[in-house]
Amino acid sequence: MNKLIAGLEQQLAQLDAQSLRRRRRTTESPCAPRVQVDGRAMLAFCSNDYLGLAAHPRIVDALQQGASLYGAGSGASHLISGHSRAHAELEERLAEFVAPQIADARALYFCTGYMANIAILSALSGSGADLFSESLNHASLIDGARLSRANVQVYPHGDLDKLASLLAASTADSKMVVTDSVFSMDGDLAALPQLLALCEQHGAWLVVDDAHGFGVLGEHGRGVLEHFALRSPNLVYMGTLGKAAGVAGAFVAAHKSVIEWMVQRARPYIYTTAAPPAVAHALLTSLEIIGGAEGAERRAHLQTLIAQWRSALQLQRWQALASDTAIQPVVIGANDEAMKIAAALYEQNIWVPAIRPPTVPAGTARLRVTLSAAHTAEQVTQLVGVLQQLEQQDSNDSDF
């Protein structure tokens, strides 16, 4: 056999041996708690569609209308001819959305959150700069930090004292602190008020990745900055639009000079084809729903489900992490054990993904349960019951 291929196949076999091989399943219906997967009707607790907007009829209509108005593709990057009226309107609406938190705000729309994070870090930090990164940050921030060529220092999860001492010791002209707002595999919130105070004290940017907060947190769904009532020119905010907003893409919001600098320098913005304008058009409806009465009702229902889950779930050996958000992980520990439990859930037509290293630290493989406003209380009760039963069976098995 070809040596290159044989080498890869050997490494894939090693992944299998460690229960680390990742596999995809194919969905055959819109994203919703009741979803058709590989020909099978499943109850899903795995999407990031926190408000249940991914299949919302008004947003689907808007997407179709956007295709009629603008066609299928944008045809070029934003700085050539791909920047449509739909993109421009979306950016204006997003800037209005975050205006209470950021003075003189402007917003920039990106195809994905992954690209937006790389854009922020590589455009606003660079060689000679100090970049302080939370240890549980998302992969896109880690990659952005690498691409920035800054001197990267990782501070332990939630360790503000350590961060304060690193900032105090920094002699760089340019400093940046980078953090997820809601940690994507743990569900807990960063201490943003304290982080912002430190950044202001030390003249550092605070980059906040609110992928899992935008649309969900804050009275009007404006995200974590609204939740904590934060406002500062040091803030650079990233919100994604493929999770709670139900469509696709992401945006960066900051003081208008920051955004203008990114238009000039952010390579993931400049050197890629603009997202289809229809997507931006659909997002206008999504924002309307998030900011209106329906959004408020959906957030309230989600909060009720989170409270129900937290009070109902009683585990003996597995650990439900302390989280008040829609991300409710159950830590199992070993990779093969987490895979076994996810498979047992799947047998009962419940779809919850097992998350393993390197996405989470070794020994903390977990079920990442995500709740959505599209779930019902009965569905949450069902998941709690099945999980508790599986844990019981699991401990009986290991008694032998």
Q: Which residues are catalytic?
A: 184, 212, 243
Q: Tokens for 308, please give them.
A: 């129900």
- Shortest reach from residue 260's CB to ligand PMP, in Å: 23
Closer by beta carbon to ligand PMP, 109 or else 309: 109
The C-alpha atoms of residue 279 and residue 277 are separated, in whole angstroms, by 5
Q: Check if the beta carbon of residue 113 is closer than 8 Å to that of residue 140.
A: yes
- Shortest reach from residue 180's CB to ligand PMP, in Å: 5
Beta strand spans in the chain (E):
34-37, 40-44, 105-110, 130-134, 151-155, 175-180, 205-209, 235-240, 250-255, 319-320, 327-333, 350-351, 354-355, 365-370
Q: Check if the beta carbon of residue 308 is closer than 8 Å to that of residue 380.
A: yes
Q: Check if the beta carbon of residue 156 is closer than 8 Å to that of residue 189.
A: no
Closer by beta carbon to ligand PMP, 292 or else 357: 357
Which one of the spans 112-120, 254-262, 278-286, 370-378 is the region binding ligand PMP (CB under 6 A)?
A: 112-120
113 annotated ligand-binding residue: yes
Supply the DSSP symbol for 221: S
Closer by beta carbon to ligand PMP, 118 or else 387: 118
- Shortest reach from residue 117's CB to ligand PMP, in Å: 6
| CA-to-CA dists, residue 332 to 186, 321, 327, 384, angstroms | 13, 11, 16, 15
184 annotated ligand-binding residue: yes
Site string for ligand PMP, 233-262 (x = CB under 6 A): -------x-x-------x------------
The reply on whether position 368 binds ligand PMP by CB under 6 A is no
The reply on whether position 140 binds ligand PMP by CB under 6 A is yes
**Triad 165, 186, 131: Cα angle to 5°:** 30
Q: Please, where are the H alpha helices in 160-249?
A: 160-169, 192-202, 224-227
| CA-to-CA dists, residue 259 to 83, 99, 145, 237, angstroms | 15, 14, 19, 11
The C-alpha atoms of residue 235 and residue 231 are separated, in whole angstroms, by 8
List 78, 83, 87, 138, residue binding ligand PMP (CB under 6 A)? 138
- Shortest reach from residue 211's CB to ligand PMP, in Å: 3
| CA-to-CA dists, residue 184 to 37, 203, 332, angstroms | 24, 27, 17
Which one of the spans 69-77, 107-115, 122-130, 289-297 is the region binding ligand PMP (CB under 6 A)?
A: 107-115
Among positions 167-186, residues that touch ligand PMP (CB under 6 A) are 180, 184
359 annotated ligand-binding residue: yes
The C-alpha atoms of residue 92 and residue 249 are separated, in whole angstroms, by 16
- Shortest reach from residue 217's CB to ligand PMP, in Å: 13
List 52, 66, 113, 213, residue binding ligand PMP (CB under 6 A)? 113
**Residues of the binding site for substrate:** 22, 138, 359
Binding site per annotation, positions: 22, 113-114, 138, 184, 212, 240, 359
Q: Catalog residues that contact ligand PMP under the rule CB under 6 A.
A: 112-114, 117, 138, 140, 180, 184, 209, 211, 240, 242, 250
Give binding residues for pyridoxal 5'-phosphate as ranges. Answer: 113-114, 184, 212, 240
